[in-house]
Amino acid sequence: MELENRGGARAKVDKVEIKQLNSIKRSENNSFLVDAEWLVSGSVNHFGHTHYRRNYYHSLVTIAIVDDVWKIQNIELVEEKRLL
C-alpha cells in the first residue's frame, strides 16, 4: 500500500491460460514435477496511467500434498517473455 500511495505500481491479473503441460513426473517423496507453459494477461497501473500486459511463462512446478491439500512447493522459472 505504501508504494501505491507514492505512485508505485499496482498489478491486476485478468486471465491465466495454461497453454501446455509438457510432462508430469512423480518424485520419490510423492511430489510431482510439472513442466508447464502458461500466459498471464492483466494490467499495471502507476503514476495515473495503465499499461496492459500479456506475459508468457515456462516453468518447472513442484506440487505435493501437505496436510491433505495439494500445494505448490516450488516454481523454477525456465523462460519468461513479455508479449504485450
Give every CB contact of residue 13 below 8 A, 6+ residues apart in sequence.
40, 41, 42
Give every CB contact of residue 49 below 8 A, 6+ residues apart in sequence.
none
Q: Other C-beta atoms within 10 Å of 61: how many? A: 19
Full-model pTM: 0.80
Q: Write the pLDDT tens digit of every residue in 5-46.
A: 556 788 899 999 999 999 999 988 889 999 999 999 999 988
In the DSSP assignment, the letter for residue 30 is S
Q: How confident is the model at residue 3 (pLDDT cuts 50, 70, 90)?
A: low
Could you give the CA distance from residue 84 to residue 78 in angstroms, rounded to a whole number?
19
